[in-house]
Amino acid sequence: MRVLVGDIGGTKTGLGIAEVQGNTVSLDLHRRYPSRKSVSLGEIVTTFFDETGCQCEMAAFAVAGPVVSGRSKTTNLPWQIDAAELQKNLGFKRVGLLNDLEAVAWGVPALTRNELAVLQPGATGAVGNACVVAAGTGLGEAGLFWDGTKHHAFPTEGGHTDFAPTDDREFALLNYLQKKVGRVSWERVVSGIGIGNIYAFLAQWHKAVHPPAVAEALRSDGDIAAAVAEAANNGHAISQEAMELFAVLYGREAGNTALKHMALGGVYLGGGIAPKNLALLQGPGFAEGFRDKGRMRTLMEQIPVQVILDPLTPLYGAARYMAAEIG
């Protein structure tokens, strides 16, 4: 089966042509476009067809936002996406629209061992429900229900649940963010936006001077998360503290999600931040945040945790989703 697949994020939109055979997905003509430079997804799809000379009768798009009745208002983009309108305006016979983390969950079975990095091996032969927690521009979460034979992916908006601090520093972080944004969700601390928020809080708390990379990102409205990570790697103490706190909070929310899904089959970390900061997440902070669940600690130690290394996983998932829809 041949299908146009798309991964629509707050920063980038990826498109490609997928061929599906069972769990195996091959991808061709992959292109990435800056999302905010276009007024709509339709404009980007038209550009892709013009550039590649390719056409498809079917399309499936993974969208960073909730999808209800084939429609989505993207969380971090000013777009309204409607599957029926895309189908009509672009001449498709069929268009599927699904949440981007649901797409990642659909894509997990298509991954090989080389496309995953183990943070915690968990119990041998672990089987059961699984979940995906993905820090990128925002924070996405999805579930994989185990029916005894195979997994069934489903979306959630768990990244928008309330952030829960556990010590004085985190309560101070919560208070700082409440004054800035009001209600504070997990996405405000576990995401690219979150790294910037954590750094800004710590810089104020310690009355610190910004390192050059962060100062430039703040001045030019650049990628603050990447600048903080760079400064941390260069030994800047406040940036290091910010990244370490981010790792702890990422582990804690991944553990929260695992408990809510009883994800004995595993936790998969998606998004762009984890692969770029693998050494950080392999350190003690993430693991302790994940396992620190009181009387459930022994259970948490049995759950496999892996980082998804292949950034094309949402595209594989969108293709598998469409193949399943068509049957």
So what's the pLDDT on residue 10? 76
So what's the pLDDT on residue 108? 95
So what's the pLDDT on residue 263? 98
Query: Which CATH number is correct for 2-104+312-326, 3.40.50.620, 3.30.420.40, 3.30.70.20, 3.30.1490.190?
Result: 3.30.420.40
Binding residues: 6-11
Binding residues for ATP: 6-11
CA distance 231 to 213: 7
Contacts 24+ apart (CB under 8 A), 156-159: 156/101, 157/66, 158/186, 158/257, 158/260, 159/185, 159/186, 159/187, 159/190, 159/191
So what's the pLDDT on residue 1? 80
Distances (CA, A) of 231 to 110, 167, 211, 243: 35, 26, 7, 10
Query: Which CATH number is correct for 112-309, 3.30.70.940, 3.40.50.10470, 3.40.50.920, 3.40.367.20?
Result: 3.40.367.20
So what's the pLDDT on residue 327? 73
- Compute mean pLDDT per 10 residues along the chain, 327 residues long, and list them: 89 92 87 92 94 92 90 84 94 94 94 95 94 93 96 94 96 98 98 96 95 93 94 96 98 98 98 96 97 97 97 94 88
Helix (H) or strand (E) holding 307: strand 305-308
DSSP per position, 262-275: T-TTEEEEESSHHH
Can you give the residue ranges of every domain in the chain? Answer: 2-104+312-326, 112-309
pTM of this structure:
0.92
So what's the pLDDT on residue 179? 97
CA distance 97 to 99: 7
Residue 67 near residue 99, CB atoms below 8 Å: yes
